[in-house]
Chain A
């Protein structure tokens, strides 16, 4: 009998020209419980390598900007967003 690793689910949002690369505006990702922000970003970049061509992307977790290299661990139901340079106003 195999033991299943516990998982968490996080929502990942893609805005503006990023969602034109990912072809989706959001998705739910199932991750192992100890996944860091940095690891999630790495997973996303592996899945959508063209995102690497977009400069100055900021990452937010639950509406707060975080460092993309952060080793902070994500929690179940966290909302992560990839925010390209803004142009409002």
Chain B
């Protein structure tokens, strides 16, 4: 997915800004319903380059793609390429027609795993800035479930890194999804056994 796709979001900046402000006023408790043991561990040296607030790689809130794009801006010019992947809920799945999706996660372990994936991508592909967010809870069709954004000096590495990260998320991060089917029932998606290194 390329920048021009999101240009329309940028053009609509006034509307987005007001939504953003509204969201921030409601943001005081985005993860408050999580178990206390799933609270953030900020001891890791690798922090996202995106914001001054504590990192939140797993969220119950809507993922604001524009915020993620903004976090990739590199005023010092170390990066020449930014790639963004947005995964969203589609209307068909492994069990037929889908009207929504429910995601569950082992939040603290998922945070740790994603942090480690970020670190590996930085080492392997020379990633300069990176932000990975996965949403959990009940999602409607079209909602963003996962956003990966990263920047590198050259585009080739950016595309490779993005694919690498998505594959690692699917292999290692403890997240499960349940399809909410159009015919009324709900079914967990057959997944893959967590890959251990």
Residues of A at the B interface (CB closer than 8 Å) are 11, 13, 15-17, 26, 55-56, 58, 60, 63, 65, 79, 81, 83-89
Query: How far apart are B197's CB and chain A's nearest CB, in angstroms?
Result: 9
Contact in complex: B87, A89 (CB < 8 Å): yes
Q: How far is the CA of A86 from the CA of B76 in the complex (A)?
A: 39
Tell yes or no: B173 within 8 A of A by CB: yes
Secondary structure call for the B interface: mixed
| B residues lining the A interface (CB < 8 Å) | 35, 37, 87, 103-106, 108-110, 112, 134, 145-146, 166, 169-178, 188-194, 196
- The docked-state distance in angstroms from the alpha carbon of A85 to that of B104 is 12
**Contact present for B166 and A89 (CB under 8 Å):** yes
Instruction: Please tell me if the beta carbons of B196 and A88 are within 8 angstroms of each other in the complex.
Output: no
Q: Are A87 and B112 in contact (CB under 8 A)?
A: no
- Complex Cα distance, B180 from A72, in Å, reads 40
Q: Output the residue of B37, B145, B176 with the most chain A CB within 10 A.
A: B176
Q: How far is the CB of B33 from chain A (nearest CB, A)?
A: 13
Q: Are A88 and B193 in contact (CB-based, < 8 A)?
A: no
A81: chain B residues at CB < 8 Å are 106, 109, 174
List chain A residues, Cβ under 8 A from B37: 11, 79
Q: Report A-chain residues with C-beta under 8 Å of the C-beta of B176.
A: 15-17, 84, 86-88
Cβ–Cβ < 8 Å partners of B105 in chain A: 88
- Tell me the smallest distance from the CB of A47 to a CB of chain B, in Å: 21
3 nearest CB pairs, A to B: A88-B175, A87-B191, A56-B193
